[in-house]
Amino acid sequence: MATSSSMSGFPEWLPEMELIQQKLIETVRHQYQLHGFAPLQTRSIELISDLLSKGEDADKEIYALRRISEEPGNDSESLGLHYDLTIPFARFVSQNRGKLTFPFRRYQIQQAWRGERPQLGRYREFIQADADVIGMNTLPVRYDGDLIRILRDTLVAMALPPIKVMVNNRKILEGFYRGLGIEDITSTLRTVDKLNKIGADGVRKVLSERGLSEQQVDGALAIAQIECDADGLEQVRSLGVSHELLAVGLDELETVLRAAPSVGNVEVVGAMHIARGFDYYTGTVVEGILADHPQLGSICSGGRYDNLASDAKVKLPGVGVSIGITRIMGYAEHLGLFSPTRRTPAVACILVDNEDTRADSDAIADRLRARGIPCLVSDKARAYGKQIKAANNLGIRYVWFPSSGEVKDIVTGEQAPADADTWQPAAETGSWKD
């Protein structure tokens, strides 16, 4: 529909869709700023060694860079495009920690690149909108609650269809598994994380093949199927497994869930199967989906990373959330969630009587622009009907007749005298769909 499919995995939106994308991005930016997060843009390029040391299977997905005038084997062979915004942010904070004020809050809205096989919701180039806070030495779990609340408020402001935000804590899963005597925590986490994809039977099969006992598999599946609010965490405790880490994790998750109760179309739940793929998460993990379309992938995610930015000298624990702008756009297009009509930011088109009086129309446009009203002047001094049709094609609601000084509302059909120094268009509906 509105994508240019000339290169698979690299979406490009036509103006009517890009206007929606910009509105979503502006909404996110505004919310992050309201909460005092400072803007940041990191370079798109990182040392491949830095990228490789962090995530699961990241090595397959990195785009390496080389100047084409340069012989292979040169230094810049070691450069690659970042595949998320968290690793670059942690690197930036670690490098600049003497120049920053902690806890350091930043938001970052930027592209990332992964050389994955393209499919619905999976792109090779995509825009993410992240908010993170990194503390010096310590960062109380209160910040995990703050970030989930900011994520919730931002999703509410985006006016998307119903969203389910699922929160968990890796300490719960790790503590629970250790309490059950499971030793291979990482692969168990990853398998359980796929519960929604491969189902309980699938998880059971994989875990059994990995050598877990029936009791261990039963336990891992029992906890994975719990979904609850803060009070409901009793269900986990009542499974009868005990471990110090489990208790810590349950306390942390309770704090987070109490800080960010469900609001409006955004439901926030504790969901014990959520683990997230990246290795760097150490506590809170979060993942949000379109509630009515659970078969689609997550549209936002995040978590706590206590060691990503830390080095030998100092601990720099962090927690953050990420909203997948391109993925939301892709799902929205796939589901037919909107039918955009505007193809320009202009709300008014000043008609032109004839080319000799074009300057009069330009002058009206300048007066509107001086008051912050986006507008266009007709490209051709044709018959009014044709000029109005051209404006309508762009989704422009108002046309301005320079000789009579009247403005016509194409939607209502009303036409009335107007003064370019005072006229105002009707307030926008605020819906992201048009």
Q: Which is nearer to a second copy, 272 or 350 (CB)?
A: 350
Q: Which is nearer to a second copy, 24 or 246 (CB)?
A: 24
Q: Is 43 an interacting residue with respect to a second copy (CB under 8 A)?
A: yes
For the bound state, the minimum distance from the C-beta of residue 355 to a second copy, rounded and expressed in Å, comes to: 9
Measure the CA–CA gap between 340 and 336, rounded to whole angstroms.
Answer: 10
Cα distance from N-terminal residue to C-terminal residue, the chain: 15
Measure the CA–CA gap between 48 and 401, rounded to whole angstroms.
Answer: 59
* Residue appearing with tokens 């290169």: 7
For the bound state, the minimum distance from the C-beta of residue 167 to a second copy, rounded and expressed in Å, comes to: 19
| 359-371 burial: b if 16+ Cβ within 10 Å, else e | eebeebbebbeee
What is the Cα 253 distance to its own chain's centre? 22
Q: Is 36 an interacting residue with respect to a second copy (CB under 8 A)?
A: yes
Q: Which of residues 10-29 bind a second copy (CB under 8 A)?
A: 10-15, 18-19, 21-22
Q: Is 425 an interacting residue with respect to a second copy (CB under 8 A)?
A: no
Query: How many residues are given for the chain?
Result: 434
Interacting residues of 4 by C-beta distance below 8 A, sequence separation 6+: 11, 12, 14
Q: Are 104 and 131 in contact, with CB atoms under 8 Å apart?
A: no
Binding mask 84-123 for a second copy (x = CB under 8 A): --------x--xx--xxx-x-xx----x-x-x--------
Q: Is 33 an interacting residue with respect to a second copy (CB under 8 A)?
A: yes
Q: Return the residue of 235, 262, 344, 415 that touches a second copy, per CB under 8 A.
A: 344
Binding mask 369-408 for a second copy (x = CB under 8 A): x--xxxxx--x----------x--xx--------------
Query: Which is it for the CA torsion 255, 256, 259, 260, positive or negative?
Result: negative
Q: Which is nearer to a second copy, 176 or 423 (CB)?
A: 423
Burial group, residue 394, by CB count within 10 angstroms (0-12, 13-18, 19+): middle
Q: Which of residues 156-195 bind a second copy (CB under 8 A)?
A: none
Binding mask 51-90 for a second copy (x = CB under 8 A): --------xxxxxxxxxxxx-x---x---xx---------
* Residue appearing with tokens 């990995």: 210
For the bound state, the minimum distance from the C-beta of residue 215 to a second copy, rounded and expressed in Å, comes to: 39
For the bound state, the minimum distance from the C-beta of residue 374 to a second copy, rounded and expressed in Å, comes to: 5
Cis peptide before 161 (omega within 30 of 0): no
